[in-house]
Amino acid sequence: MESIGQKLREARMQAGIPLEQASSRTKIRVHILEALESGEMERIPGGDVYTRNFLLSYARFLGMDVHAILAEFDQARPAVKERAKILESGSAPVRWTDTPPAFGLRRRDGARLWGAGLAALLLVAIAVVLVAWLGGSQGSGETTRLPAVLEGTPAATGQPRDQEPEPGVGPPGQGPSDRAEGQAPVSGLPAASPRGEPPVASPPARSDATVPSTLAFEPLVLRAVVEQRSWMRVDVDGRTEYTGILQAGQERSWTANDEIRVRFGYAQGVRLYLNGHDLGLAGEDVVTRSFTREMLGRLEGSR
């Protein structure tokens, strides 16, 4: 790598271009250009794929033989040679990290193991709930009224649960013979008291509907603060709103009604905020994350 760096430095000096001017014109930071010229390319963040792109841009800016420079780099870095061909051909989406070939396999295996573990936990939880429910049903002193209904015994209405209706007492217009057939009262009036007391109107049913929370109408606002250069693709409610590279120090925000989905090329270089909640760094390497109203609800509930 030192020979590549020496060639870059000599080409720049022959052109009489200061390092700061080269940084301004190539949009590459000074410390990265210094690492390229010194041959210390392991100092460049993002791995070999980032380094190769920086090298391509810098050599092209200096008017050098780009193919010769990249060929020398690929010979020293054979692990990225094949991936570089794919990136240059444009037949695959750009990945901005040098991920080992087995990385995707490990992620898929981990996802399968995680899914199997979750299924096992759900089965255990269902079993515990069933055991608790069956145990509570057997130990309770109350008798369920469902068998009585199935056998033709009318359910009591407007009476305490521990008091059975007296024989022959029912809604107006229905005699004992009718009730023996297990028919429900057809009148909308409350059932008569078993001891001749005046009927008491049942209280109005309490509505379980609640006023919708303002959270249901609050838009999703995702703010990305770039700490290290990263490629991003942002889909807002199913439509692609942004695709490109954001430099360190830049900030971008997107607003959605239901979902914001982001593909990160260098996730550990981007810090995220959802409606003011600090979510931390986006992840590691190349990831896709989805931000929904359910996620916002969990964040609001944890306050």
Q: Which pLDDT tens digit goes with each residue over 161-172?
A: 444 444 443 444
Burial of residue 241, with CB atoms counted within 10 A of its CB: 0-12 exposed, 13-18 middle, 19 or more buried: middle
At the topology level of CATH, where does 215-301 sit? Lipoxygenase-1 (2.60.60)
Looking at the predicted structure, is the pLDDT value of residue 282 above 60? yes
**Contacts (Cβ under 8 Å, ≥6 apart) of 211:** none
- pTM value is 0.32
Q: Residues 177-223: pLDDT tens digits?
A: 444 444 444 444 444 444 555 555 555 544 444 434 555 568 999 99
Q: What is the structure's pLDDT at 195?
A: 54
Range list for CATH 1.10.260.40 in the chain: 2-89
Whether 26 and 57 have beta carbons less than 8 Å apart is answered as yes
Looking at the predicted structure, is the pLDDT value of residue 100 above 60? no
Q: Residues 134-150: pLDDT tens digits?
A: 876 555 444 444 444 44
The arrangement of secondary structure in 2-89, i.e. its CATH architecture, is Orthogonal Bundle (1.10)
Q: Which of 154, 49, 31 is nearest to 92 (CA)?
A: 49
Range list for CATH 2.60.60 in the chain: 215-301
269 dihedral zone (left: phi>0; alpha: psi -120 to 50; beta)? alpha
Q: What is the structure's pLDDT at 76?
A: 76
